[in-house]
């Protein structure tokens, strides 16, 4: 089985290491073949070794499932996991086999630096069970572990074999799991969504802070029953008056009810991984912070978008460590007003010691000039310790009639120049079509990174007017909803009708 069979698509969006290192690996031959090598058990992470017997591989996975961090931080249903696992023959053996006690259940421990930190609440037990089953069925899945402090040149021949397996045949996405930063997980359908914070993977050309991957333990088509991410409008209030605004908004526009918001996040928890809070300016909602905290409690990542200057003003007022911590691991979209406003935000953030905040610069095709975006990228590279990330949005007709639209529009963005500038580029569905993005990348790159059309894995919910649609595009049919979670039924029916 090839790696790509497991990882169906990647999104660079959103890192791990200590002295110990370990991963599930592809063995050179089916594991039941006798291979020479170091002893198979010991202290995970510190000694170089390869685990190849099915029960040892599953033991490693179970040790991850049962490790202190997962248990204590996630408080997931631990007995349920044991019950699920006990249904599987080998899993049950690993759990209860007395003769293996010396390295069986009692050894289901992971070196402190090797634990996977996975946040996903209710779906975590199911994930470990599916992973264990998959590993059992795949004869070439093994585990290699070792110690990063060792000089590779000083390793014995046997240790060297484990070293090579680990460094050359680690299975994505498991080599990205670690303890320094968490991985977030959800199950939108017959597959998992995994969002890794802190990934560095040269082989896949993925060397960015955050990567989201669809991971399936089968070869069937992916069937999302829940949107992977939802664009959620929480307010129609905005202090700005951009001529190109395609939203209904005003300085005193209405907000959504907190109760409707909780209805939504409570019902999508465990399935939908991310929501994108928008408006209007989401920072105008009087319960904005509460909404961020609430989504995080439910295990949903509440990204949001605001203007660079609006975030600057907010950050000047709300910068205690507790307030900054609230936004850790979220995506904060900054709509570009000017490179110098972006510079103010980035310098303030770095000065506050909050450079863990994850920013994405939002620019609009035909509204933002390539020169300004290039300058913003340069400013980012000079002031902020992360890769510049730019989300290019397609131009949509303004909501309020504008007479001289054609005269206001600038040249389409030059994506070759943006790419040469060293930014991570992302595009919405509309920008992909307007800029012909598919023509810029090799087919295999497109297949790996393309996330799908609007409505295929995503949707839009307007919680202010209680409506939903495939996307927020003007002209897209909107469906009234009484309860926020009814929107998910609409998503399913679009998909069933093949109209996503």
Span interacting with ligand SF4, options 79-87, 215-223, 245-253, 477-485, rule CB under 6 A: 245-253
Q: Facing residues of 468 across strands? A: 461, 479
Contact status, residue 452 vs residue 470, Cβ threshold 8 Å: no
Q: Does 285 bind ligand SF4 (CB under 6 A)?
A: no
Q: Does 283 bind ligand SF4 (CB under 6 A)?
A: no
Q: Which is nearer to ligand SF4, 42 or 253 (CB)?
A: 253
Name which position in 242, 294, 348, 350 contacts ligand SF4 (CB under 6 A): 242
CB of 278 to ligand SF4, least distance (A): 8
Q: Does 280 bind ligand SF4 (CB under 6 A)?
A: yes
Contact status, residue 264 vs residue 277, Cβ threshold 8 Å: no
Binding mask 290-309 for ligand SF4 (x = CB under 6 A): -----------------x--
Span interacting with ligand SF4, options 48-56, 237-245, 346-354, 365-373, rule CB under 6 A: 237-245
The helix (H) or strand (E) run that includes residue 267 is: helix 258-268
Longest dimension (CA), the chain: 81
CB of 410 to ligand SF4, least distance (A): 16
Kindly list the strands in the beta sheet with 274-278, ordered across the sheet, starting from the edge strand earlier in the chain.
424-427, 389-393, 358-364, 331-335, 301-307, 274-278, 229-233, 458-462, 467-469, 479-480
Q: Which is nearer to ligand SF4, 181 or 255 (CB)?
A: 255
Contact status, residue 292 vs residue 302, Cβ threshold 8 Å: yes
Span interacting with ligand SF4, options 160-168, 276-284, 456-464, 466-474, rule CB under 6 A: 276-284
Contact status, residue 196 vs residue 173, Cβ threshold 8 Å: yes
Conformation bin of residue 392: beta by default, left when phi > 0, alpha when psi is -120 to 50: beta
CB of 236 to ligand SF4, least distance (A): 9
CB of 237 to ligand SF4, least distance (A): 9
Q: Does 247 bind ligand SF4 (CB under 6 A)?
A: yes
Span interacting with ligand SF4, options 264-272, 279-287, 293-301, 353-361, rule CB under 6 A: 279-287
Q: Does 241 bind ligand SF4 (CB under 6 A)?
A: yes
Contact status, residue 273 vs residue 300, Cβ threshold 8 Å: yes
| Token pair listed for 228 | 């992977």
Q: How far apart are CA 356 and CA 182, in angstroms?
A: 13
Q: Exposed (0-12), middle (13-18) or buried (19+): which is 135, by Cβ within 10 Å?
A: buried
Report phi then psi at 49, rounded to 5.
-160, 160
Q: Which is nearer to ligand SF4, 254 or 422 (CB)?
A: 254
Q: Which is nearer to ligand SF4, 241 or 438 (CB)?
A: 241
Name which position in 249, 368, 389, 470 contacts ligand SF4 (CB under 6 A): 249
Report phi then psi at 104, rounded to 5.
-90, -120
**Could you tell me how many residues of this chain bind ligand SF4 (CB under 6 A)?**
11
Conformation bin of residue 488: beta by default, left when phi > 0, alpha when psi is -120 to 50: alpha
Q: Does 281 bind ligand SF4 (CB under 6 A)?
A: yes
Name which position in 13, 178, 279, 339 contacts ligand SF4 (CB under 6 A): 279
Q: Does 119 bind ligand SF4 (CB under 6 A)?
A: no
Residues 305-334 within binding reach of ligand SF4 (CB under 6 A): 307
Cα-trace Rg, the chain: 24
Q: Which is nearer to ligand SF4, 210 or 463 (CB)?
A: 463
Span interacting with ligand SF4, options 115-123, 127-135, 234-242, 418-426, rule CB under 6 A: 234-242
Residue 296, helix vs strand vs coil: helix
Span interacting with ligand SF4, options 33-41, 51-59, 236-244, 491-499, rule CB under 6 A: 236-244
CB of 247 to ligand SF4, least distance (A): 5
List, in order, residues 6 or more apart from 328 with CB less than 8 Å away: 356, 357
Q: How far apart are CA 16 and CA 12, in angstroms?
A: 16
Span interacting with ligand SF4, options 39-47, 90-98, 242-250, 324-332, rule CB under 6 A: 242-250
Span interacting with ligand SF4, options 27-35, 88-96, 170-178, 239-247, rule CB under 6 A: 239-247
Contact status, residue 196 vs residue 211, Cβ threshold 8 Å: yes
| DSSP for 191-217, written as a single string | SEEEEEES--BTTTTB-SSEEEEEE-S
Q: Does 233 bind ligand SF4 (CB under 6 A)?
A: no
Q: How far apart are CA 416 and CA 453, in angstroms?
A: 23
CB of 262 to ligand SF4, least distance (A): 24
| CA proximity to 363, closest of 408, 302, 425, 420 | 425
Q: How far apart are CA 346 and CA 321, in angstroms?
A: 17
Q: Which is nearer to ligand SF4, 340 or 399 (CB)?
A: 399
Give the interface with ligand SF4 as residue ranges (CB under 6 A): 238, 240-242, 245, 247, 249, 279-281, 307
């Amino acid at each position: 089985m090839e790696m790509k069979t497991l990882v169906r698509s990647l999104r660079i969006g959103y890192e791990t290491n200590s002295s110990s290192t370990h991963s599930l690996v592809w063995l050179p031959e089916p594991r039941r073949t006798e291979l020479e090598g170091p002893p198979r058990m010991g202290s995970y992470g510190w000694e170089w070794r390869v685990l190849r017997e099915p029960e040892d591989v599953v033991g490693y996975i179970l040790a991850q499932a049962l490790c202190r961090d997962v248990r204590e931080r996630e408080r997931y249903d631990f007995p349920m996991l044991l019950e699920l696992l006990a249904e599987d023959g080998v899993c049950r053996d690993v759990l209860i086999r007395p003769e293996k006690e010396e390295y069986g259940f009692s050894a289901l421990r992971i070196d402190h630096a090797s634990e996977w930190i996975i946040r996903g609440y209710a779906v975590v037990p199911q994930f470990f069970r599916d992973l264990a089953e998959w590993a059992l069925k795949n004869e070439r899945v093994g585990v290699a572990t070792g110690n990063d402090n060792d000089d590779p040149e000083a390793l014995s021949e046997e240790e060297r074999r484990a070293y090579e397996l680990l460094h050359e045949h680690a299975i994505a996405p498991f080599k990205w799991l670690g303890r320094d930063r968490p991985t977030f997980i959800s199950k939108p359908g017959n597959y998992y969504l995994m969002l890794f914070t802190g990934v560095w993977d040269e082989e896949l050309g993925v060397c960015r802070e955050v990567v989201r991957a669809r991971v399936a333990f089968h070869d069937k088509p992916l069937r999302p029953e829940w949107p992977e991410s939802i664009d959620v409008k929480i307010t129609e209030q905005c202090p700005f008056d951009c001529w190109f605004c395609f939203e209904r908004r005003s300085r005193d526009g209405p907000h959504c009810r907190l109760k409707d918001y909780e209805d939504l996040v409570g019902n999508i928890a465990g399935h939908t991984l991310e929501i994108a809070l928008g408006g209007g300016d989401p920072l105008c909602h009087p319960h904005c912070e509460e909404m961020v905290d609430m989504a995080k409690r439910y295990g949903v990542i509440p990204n949001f978008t605001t203007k660079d200057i609006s975030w600057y003003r907010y950050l000047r007022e709300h910068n205690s460590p507790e307030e900054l911590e609230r936004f850790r691991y979220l995506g904060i979209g900054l709509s570009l007003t000017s490179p110098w406003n972006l510079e103010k935000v980035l310098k303030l953030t770095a000065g506050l010691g909050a450079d863990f905040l994850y920013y994405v610069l939002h620019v609009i095709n035909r509204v933002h000039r390539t020169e300004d975006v290039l300058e913003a990228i340069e400013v980012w590279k000079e002031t902020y310790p992360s890769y510049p990330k730019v989300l290019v949005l397609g131009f949509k007709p303004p909501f309020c009639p504008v007479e001289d639209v054609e005269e206001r529009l600038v040249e389409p963005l030059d994506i070759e120049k943006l790419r040469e500038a060293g930014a991570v580029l992302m595009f919405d569905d509309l920008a992909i079509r307007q800029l012909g993005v598919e023509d810029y990348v090799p087919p295999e790159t497109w297949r790996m990174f393309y996330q799908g059309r609007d409505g295929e894995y995503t949707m839009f919910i307007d919680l202010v007017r209680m409506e939903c649609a495939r996307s927020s595009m003007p002209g897209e049919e909107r469906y009234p909803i009484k309860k926020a979670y009814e929107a998910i039924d609409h998503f399913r029916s679009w998909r069933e009708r093949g109209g996503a």
